Amino acid sequence: MAQLEGGGGDDHKKGPGVKKAKKLSTRVDMTPMVDLGFLLITFFIFTTTMSSPKALNLNMPKDTKKEEELNKAKESGALTIMLGKDNAVYYYEGQLAPDGSNFKSANFGSGEGSIRTEIINRRNSVIKNHVHDDNCPKIWAENKGDKNSCLDRDLVVVIKPDQDATYKNTVDILDEMTINNVKRYALIDITPQEYQVIQATEAGSKK
Amino acid sequence: MPSVKIPKKSTFVDMTPFVDVAFLILTFFIMATKFKPPEPVEINTPNSVSTQELPESNAVMVTIDKLGKVYFTVLSEKDQSIYKSVIDDINTSRNLGLTPAEKANYAKTYLVGVSFTQLKQLLDAPEALQAKQPGIPVDTTGGELTYWVQSAKSAFAGQRLQFLIKGDNTSKYPVFKDVITALKKNDVYKYNLITAPEDAPSGTELYKERHKAG
């Protein structure tokens, strides 16, 4: 530790009879200062918030009853994701079959059977099946002539959280849209028919 | 007689560099720390990959806590008169009969989470009642939150105004939907959801995009 050093040790160099002058050391005891310094460091480490919150944009459409203003989703490119109780995710492609045969469940995460894999697969298949048509040049113009920009034009993800879904799941799935570069998605209320299927699935999985 | 002098090694260690580094770290933390106002309601926000900064001012924040209670906050640090026009507007439009002292107290309340009938009581003692507010009533038609948003919109008229929604992880979706409904009724269609930052998962489109640019 840094300490005050006494003037001892070099007396013998001086000749006999020479009065020892009290030599004041210039060394200052730094211990209390160091103590205080570390105390403050500890305090600031604990109080600091390194990551400031960020804003996730969400745009909702205006409620409209006019048929011509509504965006139509192509059945081939539509993916409907439903959020249920206890972080459950369900999805179906295109229209929901009356017998619920294309209704599948997934999980949050990134591995096999996760909703992310499903979104990526869906996006890839939409891109593969894309054929350039008259509507494409408009999208190219918006993206500085990038001819790849309209490949995923037909991909529309419809997000339907049900009554039991949490806010976290809703944000997670919106985030998933950003992560997988899905440009067109919508947050819509669940239909009673879909809710029934979810309820049936949830009841079935408990047994 | 010459004696062999054994050099005496000092046990004294020079602490100066150590102290230098310590104070450098201290300086860094002092600079990096940003004190947040103590929040009366604890909210654990979800994570997202979004990198957009939050506005500090000119914003309206709707908070949803874990019990689904809804709170309303006007963020306007620069212009204190906004608070006054919001509460004046609420007072006249809802006929609450607030006294000037109660109106002045509004600026001190960080969050408002009471119905209009209880607002007078809250503004009489803003500090004491801050933590245990019952929440602003919302329902599928928007509820009382609609009027708060309306007043805030008119107070910020002609200025840029952003709408923040700060929801707790465990709050349920229907409450969020009711809040959206209340905002939609005021022709507000763009929202900023407050989230904690997180990295883009590796291997995804976004990850490739960001690492290509960076």
CB contact B51 to A (< 8 Å): yes
Q: Quote the CA–CA distance of B98 and B123 in Å, as a whole number.
A: 9
In this prediction, residue A4 has a pLDDT band, given cuts at 50, 70 and 90, of: very low
Report, as an integer, the average pLDDT of A89-100: 80
CB contact under 8 A, A53 and B184: no
Report, as an integer, the average pLDDT of A32-49: 83
Predicted local confidence at residue A11, as pLDDT: 47
Inform me whether the pLDDT recorded for A29 exceeds 80: no
Q: Quote the CA–CA distance of B19 and B31 in Å, as a whole number.
A: 18
CB contact under 8 A, A55 and B194: yes
Partners of B192 on chain A (C-beta within 8 Å) are 55-58
**What is the nearest CA distance from A110 to chain B, expressed in angstroms?**
8
Predicted local confidence at residue A66, as pLDDT: 60
Inform me whether the pLDDT recorded for A18 exceeds 70: no
CB contact A28 to B (< 8 Å): no
Predicted local confidence at residue A44, as pLDDT: 83
- Tens of pLDDT, residues A62-75: 776 665 555 666 67
Q: Residue B172 gets which letter from DSSP?
A: B
Residue A89 contacts residue A65 (beta carbons within 8 Å): no
Q: Using CB atoms within 10 A of its CB, is residue B192 exposed (0-12), middle (13-18) or buried (19+)?
A: buried
B204: nearest CB among A33, A61, A180: A180
CB contact under 8 A, A41 and B193: no
In this prediction, residue A49 has a pLDDT band, given cuts at 50, 70 and 90, of: low
CB contact B168 to A (< 8 Å): yes
The predicted complex's ipTM stands at: 0.75
Find the closest chain A residue to B64 by CA distance.
A167
CB contact A62 to B (< 8 Å): yes
Predicted local confidence at residue B39, as pLDDT: 67
**Stated pTM of the model:** 0.74
Inform me whether the pLDDT recorded for A207 exceeds 70: no
Partners of A59 on chain B (C-beta within 8 Å) are 189-191
Find the closest chain B residue to A161 by CA distance.
B173
Inform me whether the pLDDT recorded for A13 exceeds 60: no
Q: Quote the CA–CA distance of A175 and A122 in Å, as a whole number.
A: 17
CB pairs under 8 A between A and B: 173
Q: What is the DSSP string of B17-69?
A: HHHHHHHHHHHHHHHH--PPPPPSS---PPEES--EEPPSSSEEEEEE-TT--
- Digit-by-digit pLDDT tens for chain B (214 residues) are 567 778 777 777 777 888 888 889 888 888 877 766 666 777 888 888 888 888 877 888 888 888 888 888 888 777 778 888 888 888 888 777 788 888 888 877 777 888 888 888 788 776 666 667 788 888 877 788 888 888 888 888 878 888 888 888 888 888 888 888 888 888 888 888 888 888 888 777 788 878 776 5
Vertex B16 angle, CA B11 and B19, to 5°: 115
Predicted local confidence at residue A1, as pLDDT: 47
CB contact under 8 A, B173 and A171: no
